[in-house]
Structure 1
Amino acid sequence: MAFAPQQAILELGDGFYDPVTPATFPQTILRYRNDRAAASVGLEGLSDAEWLAHFGRFEPLPGSLPQPLALRYHGHQFRVYNPEIGDGRGFLFAQMTDTAGRLMDLGTKGSGQTPYSRFGDGRLTLKGGVREILATEMLEALGVETSRTFSLIETGESLHRGDEPSPTRSSVLVRLNHGHIRIGVFQRLAYFQDEGGLRKLTGYVLRHYFGEPDGPDAPQRLLAHVVQRTARLAGQFMAAGFVHGVLNSDNINVTGESFDYGPWRFAPSWAPHFIAAYFDHQGLYAFGRQPEAIYWDVMQLAISLRLIAEEAPLIEALEGFAPAYQREEARAILWRLGVQPRDAASDRALTEALEKALHQSGAPLDLFCFDAFGGQLPDHYGAEFDAVRGHLANYRPRKSRDHPYWRGAPCGMHIDVVESLWSAIADRDDWAPLTAKITAIRAMGEALA
């Protein structure tokens, strides 16, 4: 498709963002360009030189935003409200339409300081950029609604960090998102009692992301959409065995698309208490608590919208989260197991039996899903899986195991794999293992899709 630039965000006005100037980097070394993602927005034809100009030096894309914008927002961070955040090391760089007709954003990470950087340097470590590539590629392959890592460019600076060996190499990352409007944007407006701003933002989101007009019932319609989308995301996280690590309200996108990957991990087994962030001392965002955490964040959106809406319809919309989550988790698990859904009661019964068996047995999650794809459970899965086996007997496969992926081993992304891929880069500047891993992940995605 041809590149179709947009400037929709400018409709909101300058009370929602601050124009910023990108950092000037000593070097711009192209390390990763996602031509598959670029093809979805008409940018795959850029030369490497043009790519570096736009995504390393941030020369505007023709017809899109004339200057980068740091978005304003607040948020609850580990349940503590923080009114002093916002885009602190990133900005909205461009908007455009994709092949599905959706409004898309190109946002950055590590692109320099903004008015919201506080004491940060506005930079991103190269390791952090590599980890985000791995997270987004893996989640996309596993059917999770996620941002896509669009570009990673090494920038030639030495960064000092307290939580990893320093000095370390630096980078700037660009991600492709279906919008960057966070729950925290609504919270900021509510904090300032800005009813007009809340109404304007609600209309903007409904119009551009859900294809609906504004109106008197706009707040409850918006909340209902966000409830459904975030419930879907929570279910997909669980089916993928993924732990985001920092599910703060400023990290929840109203389109229900996961983004901003810091201390993420994939759980090796169905372990509800497994955490990703070493600083999550209370296990607030542990694997099994993610649906609760996401629901809590959506409640903060409802509280913010209370400024412009009656309470009863907002509560009614919130009550849709639990049934939506149960439905979406079952759908995601059946998809990963390669079987066709039946009915809500049967699908939920299979899901609950599977969760119980995986938890009791401690079976490796990736290996189990690999072995069971298509609905045939191998004999070596013991008595703990008898109920699962009984349920699966009633399900039909949705796809064969003809793809070459099924003749190998499961493609996992546990922490030892991540560290091994980074060590090759850090120790030898060897990017071949990362390239090979991305190829393997995409093969898994083809086999599952």
Structure 2
Amino acid sequence: MPVSPAYRPEPRFFDLGEEYGDAVRAAPFPQTTLRVRNDRAAATVGLDTLTDPEWVAHFGRFEPLPGQPGPIAMRYHGHQFRSYNPDLGDGRGFLAAQLREVSTRAQAASDRVGSERAPQAGRLLDLGTKGSGQTPWSRGGDGRLTLKGGVREVLAAAMLEAQGVPTSRAFSLIETGEALTRGDEPSPTRSAVLVRLSHSHIRFGTFQRAAYLRRPDMIEALVEHARSLYHPAVERGDAAGFLRAVVQASARLTARWIAAGFVHGVLNTDNLNVTGESFDYGPWRFLPHYEPGFTAAYFDHTGLYAFARQPEAVFWALTQLGGALKLIGDAEPLTEALNGFGDAYIGELRTAFLSRLGVLSLGEAADQRLMDATLALLREGGEALRWEPLFHDWFGGFASSARALGGPRGQHYQGETFDAFRFALFEHEPDRPERLEAPLFARAEPEEMLIDEVEAIWAAIDAHDDWGPLQAKLGRLDDLREALAQGQADTG
């Protein structure tokens, strides 16, 4: 059977009409070799029952899934490094399908009572592509994706998902057999097409395009579309309420990036969406150690999107969204919604740091003290104390004291700054301390995603067609995700 009873097609973006996108076809690739198949993600949308040939047919040759009308290249504009570009749009990708996620909480209840009813549907999700060929918005590009770029996105999404960061999931990676020439990496290089599963591909730049065209009717349609599907608590016609919801989601996303030590690299307004979910990973990096000015993109010469400037970048992008919404809403409530970003971000950052340290909230003052003490310890530790190991060593608070002090970084855990950190940490009760029983925490070193390892994984593929290191890494990231989320209720 090609799809399971859990499959629920719902192609809602197509309801907006032809002014928002263009029907396209995927490129005819000379080969379609399946390299990564995310069956865990596929199970959430009823596609895990596809055979490998069926999988390749749908995600390599892009034969439409049942109930889906076919690919559409979405239209949008955007600011790229704060310069407005009206010539954007899906230039090497498209929206391939929209479908409902299985509500895992409802399904778990159904399983407990032995119900034979079909699984209940949850969030509306997109299957979007990268590297699927040229579209009307390719701007002279070849519409392709390098295999290395696909591997990097698979790794970024898996790491961020494991850490609880809102992210798209790399659903499929298929090698396509073309030799690509790129100016920023050794060429010719191998090609691939990626499919990602995400909550939405409606970008800030989608609204900017409608504003650029001076089409308030299009903005109203977009707000109603996005409000009803992604922020249904917002009342119909409430542009400021919609913006407030996007601000809150974006604040949560940004805070989770910071706590993860993640640098997206290219926070243009076409790379930020209305659901607050990171996607379209390009020159991303994870911090080796505390370094506010750390950049991911070699072309970010001014550090516009450096690690510590990401909140500023996201807020600036939100103001562009707010500017587009002024065509249909009053300036004062829109400004008020934007001004809520700072408080929302700080609150979400405290929550994110508590999550990374595996402890419960004790109240705003105590939570702030712990976050400040953690950052102070990382700052003082410099290059000698890497970002990820600190959270690994002290996960769960007091219960990890012997493990942390007796581990390879024990010598760094002394002095006044550490004492302040330990005091602030031990104030907080552990959150689900049974998670410390996971084998992951018996290891001296954490699961990291630093650039040297990423390059080594790619080198094995490039030089020897050895996919073992990538599969091993994805397996360890699954272990990390399960260890950190053990016992956690579904919040989808």
TM-score in terms of structure 1 length: 0.98
**Aligned: 1:69 with 2:72:** yes
Name the % identity. 56
Q: Which residue of 2 aligns with 1:388?
A: 421
CA–CA distance in structure 2, aligned partners of residues 441 and 178 of structure 1:
21
Deviations 1:331-370 (A, max 9, x none): 1111111111121221122112211221122121111111
**Residues 234 and 241 in structure 2, CA contact (< 8 A), matched pair in contact too:** no
Deviations 1:76-120 (A, max 9, x none): 000111101110000000000001311110000000001110121
Structural mapping, 1:100-119, within 5 Å: 100=103, 101-119=122-140
**Aligned: 1:249 with 2:253:** no
**Residues 203 and 213 in structure 1, CA contact (< 8 A), matched pair in contact too:** no
**Aligned: 1:230 with 2:250:** yes
- 1:412 aligned to which of 427, 433, 448: 448
- 2:379 aligned to which of 359, 366, 385: 359
**Cα drift, residue 212 of structure 1:** 4.1
CA–CA distance in structure 1, aligned partners of residues 233 and 372 of structure 2:
36
CA–CA distance in structure 2, aligned partners of residues 333 and 268 of structure 1:
17
CA–CA distance in structure 1, aligned partners of residues 354 and 324 of structure 2:
35
**Residues 29 and 177 in structure 2, CA contact (< 8 A), matched pair in contact too:** yes
**Aligned: 1:370 with 2:402:** no
Deviations 1:394-434 (A, max 9, x none): 11111331001111220111000000000110011000111
Q: Which residue of 2 aligns with 1:424?
A: 460
Structure 1 stretch displaced more, 147-156 or 5-14: 5-14
CA–CA distance in structure 2, aligned partners of residues 3 and 348 of structure 1:
44
**Cα drift, residue 184 of structure 1:** 0.2
Amino acid at match of 1:440: R
CA–CA distance in structure 2, aligned partners of residues 184 and 356 of structure 1:
37
CA–CA distance in structure 2, aligned partners of residues 330 and 396 of structure 1:
15
Deviations 1:232-266 (A, max 9, x none): 00100011110000000100011000000000000
**Aligned: 1:444 with 2:476:** no
Structural mapping, 1:118-197, within 5 Å: 118-197=139-218
**Aligned: 1:308 with 2:338:** no
**Residues 235 and 241 in structure 2, CA contact (< 8 A), matched pair in contact too:** no
Per the alignment, in what secondary structure is the counterpart of residue 98 of structure 1? strand
- Unmatched runs of 5 consecutive residues or more in structure 1: none
**Residues 203 and 214 in structure 1, CA contact (< 8 A), matched pair in contact too:** no
CA–CA distance in structure 2, aligned partners of residues 215 and 421 of structure 1:
48
Structure 1 stretch displaced more, 68-77 or 387-396: 387-396
Deviations 1:203-253 (A, max 9, x none): 00000111246534x211110000000000010001111000000010001
CA–CA distance in structure 2, aligned partners of residues 2 and 234 of structure 1:
32
Amino acid at match of 1:279: F
Q: Which residue of 2 aligns with 1:397?
A: 430
Q: Which residue of 2 aligns with 1:26?
A: 30
Q: Which residue of 1 aligns with 2:87?
A: 84
CA–CA distance in structure 2, aligned partners of residues 428 and 145 of structure 1:
34
Amino acid at match of 2:8: A
CA–CA distance in structure 2, aligned partners of residues 356 and 12 of structure 1:
49
**Aligned: 1:11 with 2:33:** no
CA–CA distance in structure 2, aligned partners of residues 387 and 232 of structure 1:
27
CA–CA distance in structure 1, aligned partners of residues 272 and 441 of structure 2:
34
CA–CA distance in structure 1, aligned partners of residues 477 and 236 of structure 2:
44
**Residues 245 and 277 in structure 1, CA contact (< 8 A), matched pair in contact too:** yes
Per the alignment, in what secondary structure is the counterpart of residue 18 of structure 1? strand
**Residues 71 and 91 in structure 1, CA contact (< 8 A), matched pair in contact too:** yes
TM-score in terms of structure 2 length: 0.90
Aligned length, in residue pairs: 447
**Residues 227 and 236 in structure 2, CA contact (< 8 A), matched pair in contact too:** no
**Cα drift, residue 445 of structure 1:** 1.2
CA–CA distance in structure 2, aligned partners of residues 79 and 269 of structure 1:
28
Per the alignment, in what secondary structure is the counterpart of residue 130 of structure 1? helix
Deviating beyond 6 angstroms after TM superposition, the runs of 4 or more aligned structure 1 residues are none
**Cα drift, residue 21 of structure 1:** 1.2
How much is the aligned-residue C-alpha RMSD, in angstroms?
Answer: 1.0
CA–CA distance in structure 2, aligned partners of residues 347 and 425 of structure 1:
44
- Unmatched runs of 5 consecutive residues or more in structure 2: 104-121, 486-492
Deviations 1:283-307 (A, max 9, x none): 0100111111111101110011011
Amino acid at match of 2:251: A
Per the alignment, in what secondary structure is the counterpart of residue 15 of structure 1? helix
- 1:292 aligned to which of 300, 312, 326: 312
**Residues 183 and 250 in structure 1, CA contact (< 8 A), matched pair in contact too:** yes
Amino acid at match of 1:95: Q
Amino acid at match of 2:6: A
CA–CA distance in structure 2, aligned partners of residues 346 and 110 of structure 1:
47
Per the alignment, in what secondary structure is the counterpart of residue 73 of structure 2? strand
**Cα drift, residue 387 of structure 1:** 1.3
- 1:95 aligned to which of 94, 98, 102: 98
Q: Which residue of 1 aligns with 2:57?
A: 53
